[in-house]
């Protein structure tokens, strides 16, 4: 496990005068906090002996039923018996990796991919092989070719890790036609899919996308989370897995923590049972849509023309690409000095790629702050381009390994 080189900078970046476009923190202030407070207090006074007791390794049965209801919104038809409640989907990722990976095994992942997953894969000494992605998600041809090349070389592929909807960090979504292709390619090759979907219900237009798991219950382990649709502080996520994998997940869960907190599981259960949770998701979607719009408009108005970026249809992130000769990690200290922060691209790859890229998040700052942050960042990039044009490109530092910027930045 390697601490990020940029951690120290982010300590500075959390000062109030800095506009942080770095963090991936949901805007929990938009929750009805009084109601949540009442619900939690009620839980202790009325159901304290259960809420404050150990629970089962698989998770509270009633909450697992409710989770199935949530997943139905993405076309998933599953039984509570196949769900394991975990400490956020991050723990589900850890348990899945622990179950499947021996050192040197291959995990396929989009390039770029979620930094927290790359950190977990690296901790278990998996070898991550990236699959090309464009603005429609994973490129199926790249997936097929990579699987073929690895199989020919005798490398054991354990699973494909993918975030098909509103991806972290790229903000892109796998289109419908490609979903079927990805399922077919993996099924033919006997490669399990781990579908990580914390942002699926946070789309800005239309109905939620159909999950990969909806069309292949046996070939997909689905990871879900209440961190983005309710609050990450409860640390309630889940895995939905085929029976054999589910059994191992429960054993791994028990060995890791005995059981999840009964208290937070029952609190989430009570929230789902008594509050208009679908309306709350709508509130979040509207709030994030406004912030996404603010960011895209500011980027369009202020960024030098050589900079490009993705246009997310949901979720939290925009992925920007700098012109040739610029290095986002080298720019970060200057950006922080100008009171704006982002996450450099290299942390989202396990092979040193991403030097010209950066993740910009719009989930936390208010629209005016987003516009101001983009204005500051555009100024820094403009200066970098001028320096490049005057002095040529400096050597960019090589970087191999995974940066883990910390939970608030994941």
Ligand X SMILES: Cc1ncc(COP(=O)(O)O)c(C=O)c1O
Residue nearer to ligand X on the CB measure, 20 or 225: 225
Residue 400 DSSP one-character state: -
Residue nearer to ligand X on the CB measure, 167 or 262: 167
Smallest gap, in angstroms, from Cβ of residue 159 to ligand X?
15
Smallest gap, in angstroms, from Cβ of residue 390 to ligand X?
39
Query: For ligand X, which residue has the nearest CB?
Result: 88
Smallest gap, in angstroms, from Cβ of residue 227 to ligand X?
3
Interface residues with ligand X (CB under 6 A)? 24, 88-90, 114, 116, 163, 168, 196, 198, 225, 227, 232, 237, 410
Residue nearer to ligand X on the CB measure, 116 or 137: 116
Smallest gap, in angstroms, from Cβ of residue 345 to ligand X?
16
Smallest gap, in angstroms, from Cβ of residue 167 to ligand X?
7
DSSP collapsed to 3 states, 154-201: CCCEEEEEECCCCCCCCCCCCCHHHHHHHHHHHHHHCCEEEEECCCCC
Residue nearer to ligand X on the CB measure, 94 or 327: 94
Determine how β-strand 137-138 pairs with β-strand 133-134.
antiparallel
| Upper half-sphere CA count for residue 168 (Cβ side, 13 Å) | 27
Smallest gap, in angstroms, from Cβ of residue 84 to ligand X?
13
Residue nearer to ligand X on the CB measure, 95 or 326: 95
Smallest gap, in angstroms, from Cβ of residue 117 to ligand X?
6
Q: In DSSP terms, which residues pair with 138 in a beta bridge? A: 133
Long-range contacts of 303-306 (CB under 8 A, 24+ apart): 303/374, 303/378, 303/381, 304/378, 304/381, 304/382, 304/385, 306/385
- Look up tokens 């689905």; give the residue: 222
Residue nearer to ligand X on the CB measure, 182 or 378: 182
Cα–Cα distance list, 368 to 204, 292, 345, 375 (Å): 20, 12, 25, 11
Sequential DSSP letters for 88-124: HHHHHHHHHHHHH--TT-EEEEESS--HHHHHHHHHT
Smallest gap, in angstroms, from Cβ of residue 237 to ligand X?
4
Q: Taking the CA atoms of 90, 96, 101 and 106 in sequence, report the sign of the dihedral they define.
A: negative
Which secondary structure element, helix H or strand E, spans residue 220, and what is its range?
strand 220-225
| Upper half-sphere CA count for residue 92 (Cβ side, 13 Å) | 29
Q: In DSSP terms, which residues pair with 321 in a beta bridge? A: 308, 357
Smallest gap, in angstroms, from Cβ of residue 373 to ligand X?
20
Residue nearer to ligand X on the CB measure, 198 or 405: 198
Q: State the Cα–Cα distance between residues 263 and 267, nearest whole angstrom.
A: 6
Q: State the Cα–Cα distance between residues 267 and 327, nearest whole angstrom.
A: 45
DSSP collapsed to 3 states, 341-361: ECEEHHHHCCCCCCCCEEEEE
Residue nearer to ligand X on the CB measure, 23 or 373: 23
Smallest gap, in angstroms, from Cβ of residue 392 to ligand X?
37
Residue nearer to ligand X on the CB measure, 312 or 376: 312
Residue nearer to ligand X on the CB measure, 89 or 259: 89
């Amino acid at each position: 496990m390697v601490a990020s080189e940029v951690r120290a900078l982010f300590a500075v970046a959390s000062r109030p005068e800095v506009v942080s476009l770095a963090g991936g923190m949901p805007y929990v202030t938009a929750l009805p906090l009084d109601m949540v407070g009442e619900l939690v207090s009620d839980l202790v006074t009325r159901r304290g002996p259960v809420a404050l007791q150990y629970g089962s390794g698989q998770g509270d049965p009633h909450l697992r039923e409710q989770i199935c209801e949530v997943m139905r919104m993405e076309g998933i038809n599953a039984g509570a018996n196949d769900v394991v409640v975990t400490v956020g989907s991050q723990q589900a990722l850890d348990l899945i990796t622990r179950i499947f990976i021996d050192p040197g095994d291959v995990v396929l992942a989009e390039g770029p991919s979620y930094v927290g997953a790359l950190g977990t894969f690296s901790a278990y000494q998996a070898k991550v092989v990236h699959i090309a992605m464009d603005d429609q998600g994973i490129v199926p041809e790249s997936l097929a070719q990579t699987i073929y090349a690895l199989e020919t070389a005798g490398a054991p592929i354990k699973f494909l890790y993918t975030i098909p909807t509103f991806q972290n960090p790229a903000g892109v979504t796998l289109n419908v036609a490609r979903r079927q292709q990805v399922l077919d390619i993996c099924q033919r090759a006997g490669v399990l899919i781990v579908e990580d979907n914390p942002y699926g219900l946070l789309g800005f237009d239309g109905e939620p996308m159909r999950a990969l798991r909806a069309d292949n219950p046996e070939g997909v382990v689905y990871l879900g989370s209440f961190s983005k649709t309710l609050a990450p502080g409860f640390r309630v996520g889940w895995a939905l897995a085929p029976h054999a994998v589910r059994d191992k997940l429960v054993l791994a869960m028990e060995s890791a923590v005995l059981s999840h907190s009964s208290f937070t599981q029952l609190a989430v259960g009570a929230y789902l049972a008594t509050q208009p949770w679908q309306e709350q998701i709508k509130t979040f979607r509207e709030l994030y849509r406004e912030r996404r719009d603010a960011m895209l408009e500011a980027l369009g108005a202020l960024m030098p023309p050589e900079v490009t970026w993705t246009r997310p249809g949901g979720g939290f992130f925009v992925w920007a690409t700098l012109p040739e000769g610029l290095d986002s990690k080298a720019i970060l200290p200057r950006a922080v000095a100008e009171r704006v922060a982002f996450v450099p691209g290299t942390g989202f790859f396990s092979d040193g790629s991403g030097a010209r890229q950066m993740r910009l998040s719009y989930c936390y700052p208010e629209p005016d702050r987003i516009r101001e942050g983009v204005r500051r960042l555009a100024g820094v990039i403009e200066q970098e381009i001028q320096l490049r044009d005057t002095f040529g490109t400096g050597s960019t530092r090589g970087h191999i390994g995974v940066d883990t910027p910390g939970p608030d930045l994941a």
